[in-house]
Structure 1
Amino acid sequence: MSPKNKPKLSKEEIASKKSAAAKARLEKIKSDPVLLAEYKEKERVKYLRKKGKGQRKSIQDMTPREQRKIRKQWKKYSTDYRKKKTITKDCEN
């Protein structure tokens, strides 16, 4: 008995399935406090390892141009976050 042939998926379909699985995995982790603590510790260790290797620079180690670029990015992220926060607050009321 031969296995049934599955239809080939396109790259977009594969990517969407993969991202959906990743979202589901993260949602499962975030719902359980023990798994969330383990995940956060794992991410922290990964960050420290990269920082030790020199793959992740701190802001003091960057050139003034890089610092401006990063700080501009931070400012944009902060404003976007505040906008989302006010929108959700308005929707709840």
Structure 2
Amino acid sequence: MTRKIVLDIKALRKEKNMTVSDLANRLNKSVFEIKVWEDNGHKVSIKDLDSLHRILGLSINYVVFNSERNTLSVRGLTVKQIQLLLGIIDEISDEEH
């Protein structure tokens, strides 16, 4: 699956009172990479999304719809399971259009 997700990582990080360094360390990434994500609206891979959802408490609803209504948490799901959910969401979205 090549789908990429765009997140407001800076806002999410700040909600958790984390510095760029804190997030970089927790993700095992460089501070520079996190700043690129934040400053350029970098797209986040499914693999990074899996790590981010654990650290920042993201839900599928927030990621897909930018909303916490009827939240479905991805906490505890594998990358493969998250990919399957996103595939289902894509299919539903395609059927609605």
Which is greater in Rg?
1
Question: TM-score when scaled to structure 2?
Answer: 0.28
More helix by share: 1
Structure with bigger RCO (C-alpha 8 Å, 6+ apart): 2
More strand by share: 2
Question: TM-score when scaled to structure 1?
Answer: 0.28
